[in-house]
């Protein structure tokens, strides 16, 4: 590091080039038509960074590297090929976790090199270890919740807040032991390895405690946040290794995750701390009385309304992903368009289990991105639509957010489906959404409930059209 050789110079210049390509790649991600090229540029940047690093004079044995890279590549290819589009939230949380674990191991390997480190290096290494471990265990819990290996609901126990506060204090104390490395403390001799392992165990526990109390509907926030952490962990590892490209790439990912987290929080009208800690608070009961009655409708009767409709807006939610109804919806869309109707899709930012979840599913079903509209655009003209079809969405179309002051979701921006001329709600039963609140939309005079599996209901309508 002290002596700058030609090789070092070449490596660092290539890192500058790689950084520029990463940035340019992200810029191209700004539009669906250029996004694929952007991703390609970004991957070329990664390739350049990896290849030039191999020329590092310190790297003398390639055997282990080759085995590790080959095994990693095989697993990566398999995962990317086999994963179903509906399982994308699970895939992203697993990748978040693996990224965090990689940074944890880089930090661990760094302290095992038996070199002398400054306090600054020890501090950033500790941060890489901490953030990496939290990302890993937190992402595993998020993955387990998303894939329903454990309950998707908020998990809480008595004294959770006290326990977590204590945990934070102990972690801070461990950080002191890790950085200052006192050999004796209060008459007890301290082994650095014990400190290291304790730090890792505590950080892993902290990640679990962070995600456990968060319920399913808040998953988009958690995935975005963990995405950000995985970048920050890489960034901290970059500080520990004095590697610029790690810092640049890591902070780009960190910034991306923070922006997404912010968008998700705004879409739910909640602060980040409210999302992270609301599991600790008792659910506020609202004793608002909803008047009116629920009016069920058969798919056959719904067909007659759809046949006469000039414009239809589809509002999908997580239920559409569960029912795998996106392909059936696309089929119905084509029939409606052949029938002369305009079909638009309205996507709420937190519909589904991760940012952009619905968009990917509809893209998979061949729905053009030009037909997908964001909440604000559609709300301006929702009253002009003849039919609003709500497929497996609940809280994101809940008018209580607009008109019931006592409701827990009051103030949250929602798609105003109830303002359309007719509203069809495709739903399994009358169960409330993840937020656990009644939805006055179902009781509105212009709303009809079409109970049953969304895919089957859509199938009924499609058959009616074909007859």
55 binds another protein (CB under 8 A): no
203 binds another protein (CB under 8 A): no
147 binds another protein (CB under 8 A): no
What residues from 258 to 277 belong to the interface with another protein (CB under 8 A)? 259-260, 263
67 binds another protein (CB under 8 A): yes
77 binds another protein (CB under 8 A): yes
Per CB under 8 A, the segment of 16-24, 208-216, 388-396, 416-424 that binds another protein is 16-24
218 is catalytic: no
One of 395, 418, 453, 467 is an active-site residue; which one? 395
- Taking the C-alpha atoms of residue 426 and residue 442, their distance in angstroms, rounded to an integer, is 11
Per CB under 8 A, the segment of 250-258, 406-414, 417-425, 447-455 that binds another protein is 250-258
Which CB atom, from 26 or from 288, has the smaller least distance to another protein?
Answer: 26
What residues from 361 to 400 belong to the interface with another protein (CB under 8 A)? 363-364, 366, 368-372, 374
248 binds another protein (CB under 8 A): yes
357 binds another protein (CB under 8 A): yes
- Binding residue for another protein, selected from 86, 90, 98, 407, defined by CB under 8 A: 98
In terms of residues, how long is the chain?
Answer: 467
65 binds another protein (CB under 8 A): yes
414 binds another protein (CB under 8 A): no
223 binds another protein (CB under 8 A): yes
What residues from 315 to 344 belong to the interface with another protein (CB under 8 A)? none
Per CB under 8 A, the segment of 166-174, 198-206, 236-244, 438-446 that binds another protein is 236-244
- Binding residue for another protein, selected from 86, 137, 154, 230, defined by CB under 8 A: 230
Minimum distance of another protein from residue 254's CB (angstroms):
7
176 binds another protein (CB under 8 A): no
Which CB atom, from 69 or from 308, has the smaller least distance to another protein?
Answer: 69
Angle between helices 88-111 and 192-211 (to 10 degrees): 160
133 binds another protein (CB under 8 A): no
- Binding residue for another protein, selected from 8, 12, 17, 39, defined by CB under 8 A: 39
416 binds another protein (CB under 8 A): no
110 binds another protein (CB under 8 A): yes
Per CB under 8 A, the segment of 24-32, 175-183, 308-316, 449-457 that binds another protein is 24-32
Active site residues: 395
């Amino acid at each position: 590091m002290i002596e700058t050789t030609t090789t070092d110079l070449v490596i660092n210049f290539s890192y500058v080039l790689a950084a520029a390509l990463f940035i340019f790649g992200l810029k191209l991600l700004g539009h669906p038509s250029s996004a694929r090229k952007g991703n390609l540029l970004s991957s070329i940047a990664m390739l350049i960074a990896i290849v030039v690093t191999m020329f590092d004079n310190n790297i003398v044995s390639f055997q282990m590297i080759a085995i590790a890279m080959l095994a990693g590549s095989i697993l990566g290819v398999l995962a990317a090929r086999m994963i179903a589009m509906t399982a994308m939230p699970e895939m992203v949380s697993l990748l978040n976790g693996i990224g965090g674990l990689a940074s944890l191991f880089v930090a661990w390997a760094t302290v095992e090199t038996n070199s002398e480190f400054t306090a600054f290096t020890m501090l950033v290494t500790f941060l890489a270890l901490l953030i990496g471990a939290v990302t890993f265990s937190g992402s595993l819990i998020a993955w387990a919740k998303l894939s329903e290996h454990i309950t998707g609901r908020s998990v809480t126990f008595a004294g959770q807040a006290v326990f977590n506060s204590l945990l934070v204090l102990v972690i801070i104390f461990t950080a002191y032991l890790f950085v200052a490395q006192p050999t004796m403390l209060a008459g007890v001799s301290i082994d650095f390895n014990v400190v290291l392992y304790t730090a890792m165990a505590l950080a892993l526990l902290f990640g679990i405690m962070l995600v456990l109390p968060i319920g399913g509907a808040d998953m988009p926030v958690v995935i975005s946040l963990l995405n950000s952490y995985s970048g920050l962990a890489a960034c901290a590892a970059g500080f520990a290794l004095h590697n610029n490209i790690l810092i640049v790439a890591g902070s780009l990912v960190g910034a991306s995750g923070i922006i997404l987290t912010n968008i998700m929080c705004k879409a739910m009208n909640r602060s980040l701390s409210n999302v992270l800690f609301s599991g600790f608070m008792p659910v506020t009961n609202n004793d608002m009385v909803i008047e009116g009655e629920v009016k069920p409708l058969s798919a056959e009767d719904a067909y007659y309304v759809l046949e006469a409709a000039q414009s239809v807006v589809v509002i999908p939610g997580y239920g559409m992903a569960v029912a795998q109804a996106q392909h059936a919806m696309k089929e119905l869309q084509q029939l409606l368009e052949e029938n002369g109707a305009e079909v638009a899709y309205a996507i709420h930012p937190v519909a589904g289990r991760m940012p952009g979840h619905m968009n990917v599913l509809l893209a998979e079903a061949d729905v053009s991105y030009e037909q997908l509209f964001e909440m604000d655009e559609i709300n301006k003209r929702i009253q002009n639509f003849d039919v609003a079809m709500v497929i497996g969405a609940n809280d994101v179309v809940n008018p209580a957010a607009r008109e019931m002051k006592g409701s827990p979701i009051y103030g949250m921006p929602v798609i105003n489906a109830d303002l359309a001329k007719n509203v069809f709600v495709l739903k399994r039963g009358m169960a409330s959404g993840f937020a656990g609140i009644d939805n006055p939309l179902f009781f509105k005079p212009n709303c009809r409930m079409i109970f049953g599996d969304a895919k089957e209901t859509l199938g009924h309508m499609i058959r009616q059209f074909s007859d």
